[in-house]
Amino acid sequence: MGTRNLVMVTSKGKIKVAQYGQWDGYPTGQGAVIAKFLQDELDLRKFKKHVDALEFADSKFIESTWKDCGADDSGFVTFEIGDLHGIIYPEFSRDTGAEILGLIQTGLFPLAQNEIEFLEEGLYCEYAYDINLDKKTVTIYTGGKKKYTELKFKDFTVDKMKQIESEMNKQS
């Protein structure tokens, strides 16, 4: 489902990753992907080292990645070009979402997406997740900057995401 979201990673007090995601932004979607990463895959020392080394890609560079895949200056791309771009440059794909965390941990991706302004789009940014490496917490936001909850890494589990989503549905 097209539930737009933002996955952020904060380290040394600075947002180092602001990954826009087009799909499954709710807690049992991207929240669960984050939870699985934190519980099953995270090597905190390695991940933090790679996050701290990241630089934000500028718009000219990202534009060049699209041209590498066959896009022109019309502003429109075919599904084939979009799919190719997602394969070659997953770090800049709207389809990657929270899977960016595993990509970062590999150390193969020195540039990050900077979509932090999307957090200001309360109507469109349905969920945001800030993974704070300094505090070892994840903060969930709804509707842009509206803080819903903050959990320690150890408490940010798939079961907790199911519980949070159930609570949210009852409040609706």
User: How high is the pLDDT of residue 144?
Assistant: 80
Q: Environment class of residue 125 by beta-carbon count within 10 Å: exposed (0-12), middle (13-18) or buried (19+)? A: buried
- Cα 16 from Cα 25, distance rounded (Å): 20
pLDDT exceeds 80 at position 172: no
- In 3D space, the residue among 123, 86, 102 whose CA is nearest the CA of residue 42 turns out to be 102
pLDDT exceeds 70 at position 1: no
User: How high is the pLDDT of residue 19?
Assistant: 96
Please compute, for residue 158, the number of CA atoms within 13 A of its CA located in the half-sphere on the CB side: 7
Torsion 12-15-19-21 (CA) sign: positive
Mean pLDDT of 139-161: 95
Residue 160 tokens read as 């907790």
User: How high is the pLDDT of residue 5?
Assistant: 96
User: How high is the pLDDT of residue 2?
Assistant: 83
Residues 107, 50 contacting (CB under 8 angstroms):
yes
User: How high is the pLDDT of residue 64?
Assistant: 95
User: How high is the pLDDT of residue 164?
Assistant: 96
pLDDT in tens, 14-67: 999 999 999 999 999 999 999 999 999 999 999 999 999 999 999 999 999 999
pLDDT in tens, 75-94: 899 999 999 999 999 999 99
| Predicted model pTM | 0.94
pLDDT in tens, 87-133: 999 999 999 999 999 999 999 999 998 999 999 888 899 999 999 99
